Amino acid sequence: MADMNRERHRTRETAFYLFTQQSLPACKPVLTPGWVVEIVDRYDTECVPEAFRIDKISYIQDDSIPKNCSRFMKVHKYMKAPIYIYYQLDNYYQNHRRYVKSRSDKQLLHGQKYHDTSSCQPVELNSGQPIVPCGLIAWSLFNDSFTFIRERAELKVNRKNIAWKSDRDHKFGKNVHPFNFQNGTLIGGGKLNPKIPLSDQEDLIVWMRTSALPSFRKLYGRIEEDLDADDVIVVNLMNNYNTYSFGGKKKLVLSTSSWLGGKNDFLGHACVIIGSSSLILAIVFTLLHLKYRRPHGDTSYLPWNRKSLSG
């Protein structure tokens, strides 16, 4: 009994203590500014050595030339982790009809067990053997790679979980391994490690969710460290992917994200413009209403009245 009393006393005391000492548990509404910081770096021209600037296509198609290239990126504003790494391609028609349909979802899920891959034309078979994953989309997999160094220390890039979960779980088979991939005479893009099942090849999964517009971004990975203002990041990249033949741009984008996603000026502008135009309209109509009020049901507007009054 006494114990219980003491117990109760103590809890009350504790509560009182917390109160007097101003240390009550509380949620702290800190209004974090919703800034989304974005750094864009176009590197397709800069990463071609001076000597090859005239004929970039021969440069990119020549395997013997080393493709590595270094870029410097200056962080002008504090960037809070996670920082998303995107590559952005312009003038790249991933939504071209021939391109979009050149894939086999069944094969991606079931692998070689699924034979009818006619939809993958023209990248269906190579020397009589089926290609897994087949189709133009997979064949033209983007294969530039990026590493980031800050003050001589490499920044860790997390390349997991960059594809939508539904794609990983339901569209790409867990037991499907790349087979006979990029073995043809023409190499379209990146190669895949045959040991890793497709459901873990997230680069491929991201790439195969074709974009809606000819200018698009795709997620490459995440830097999970904060970047401070005035940090200089060295990007070592392998400039493997051929956008030179069709004049496409390649850009590297570092961006933070808010609940509304990445930095999108248009969304903001649209909101502001629509909101303000509604407001202006409201004011204009109110003024009109007050000043030049058309009486409700003004019969003089009726044509037969107009006629009889004039005649």
Partner 1 sequence: MCLLGAMGSGIFIDRKYFYLGLRQNVEDQFNPSKRFLVIILTMLTLLTLYSTIIPISLYVSIETIKFIQSSQFINKDLNMYHAETNTPASARTSNLNEELGQVEYIFSDKTGTLTRNLMEFFKCSIGGEIYGIGMTEIEKGVTERKGIKVQEVQTSNDSVQEKGFNFYDGRLLRGAWRNEPNHDACKEFFRCLAICHTVLPEGEESPAKIKYQAASPDEAALVLAAKNFGFFFYRRTPSMIYVRESHAERMGKTQDVSYEILNVLEFNSTRKRQSVVCRCPDGRLVLYCKGADTVIYERLGSGNDDLNKATRDHLEQFGSAGLRTLCLAYRDLAPDLYESWNEKFIKAKSSLRDREKKLDEVAELIEKELILIGATAIEDKLQEGVPSCIQTLSRAGIKIWVLTGDKMETAINIAYACNLLNNEMKQFIISSETDAIREVEERGDQTEIACFIKEDVKKQLKQSLDEASQYFCAPSGPKLGLVIDGKCLTYALDSSLRIMLLTLGLNCASVVCCRVSPLQKAQVTSLVKKGAHKITLSIGDGANDVSMIQAAHIGIGISGLEGMQAVMASDFAIAQFRFLEDLLLVHGRWSYIRLCKVVMYFFYKNLAFTLTQFWFTFNTGFSGQRFYDDWFQSLYNVIFTALPVIIVGLFDKDISPPLSKKYPELYKEGIRNKFFKWRVVAIWAFFSIYQSLVFFYFISAFSSTSQDRSGKMFGLWDVSTMAFTCVVVTINLRLLMMCNSITRWHCISVGGSILVWFVFIFLYSGITTPLDRNENMYWVIYILMSTPSFYVTLLLVPVAALLVDFLYLCVQRWFFPYDYQIIQEMHKDDIHCTGPQGVLGSKQQLIPDEERSNEISQLPREVSKHSGFAFDSPGYESFFASQSGKYVTPNAWDVARRASIRHKATPK
**Span interacting with partner 1, options 16-24, 42-50, 145-153, 182-190, rule CB under 8 A:** 182-190
146 binds partner 1 (CB under 8 A): no
| Residue 175 · residue 197 · CB < 8 Å | yes
* Beta carbon of residue 199, minimum distance to partner 1 (angstroms, whole number): 14
Residue 195 or 307: which CB sits closer to partner 1? 307
Site for partner 1 in 234-253 (CB under 8 A): 242, 245-247
Name which of 42, 247, 39, 49 is nearest 144 in CA terms: 42
| Residue 266 · residue 273 · CB < 8 Å | no
| Residue 250 · residue 44 · CB < 8 Å | yes
* Beta carbon of residue 141, minimum distance to partner 1 (angstroms, whole number): 10
**Span interacting with partner 1, options 6-14, 149-157, 213-221, 230-238, rule CB under 8 A:** 213-221
| Residue 142 · residue 189 · CB < 8 Å | yes
Name which of 21, 27, 2 is nearest 13 in CA terms: 21
Judged by CB under 8 A, how many residues of this single chain contact partner 1?
89
Backbone phi, psi, residue 195, to 5°: -80, -25
**Span interacting with partner 1, options 3-11, 126-134, 148-156, 270-278, rule CB under 8 A:** 270-278
Alpha-carbon distances of 24 from 7, 13, 18, 21, 27, rounded to whole Å: 20, 13, 5, 8, 10
287 binds partner 1 (CB under 8 A): no
* Beta carbon of residue 131, minimum distance to partner 1 (angstroms, whole number): 12
**Span interacting with partner 1, options 15-23, 42-50, 226-234, 256-264, rule CB under 8 A:** 256-264
Tokens, residue 149: 């160094």
What gap in Å lies between CA 92 and CA 103, rounded to an integer?
A: 17
**Residue type for 260, please?**
L
Among 77, 122, 129, 154, binds partner 1 (CB under 8 A): 122
* Beta carbon of residue 222, minimum distance to partner 1 (angstroms, whole number): 7
Residue 28 or 296: which CB sits closer to partner 1? 296
66 binds partner 1 (CB under 8 A): no
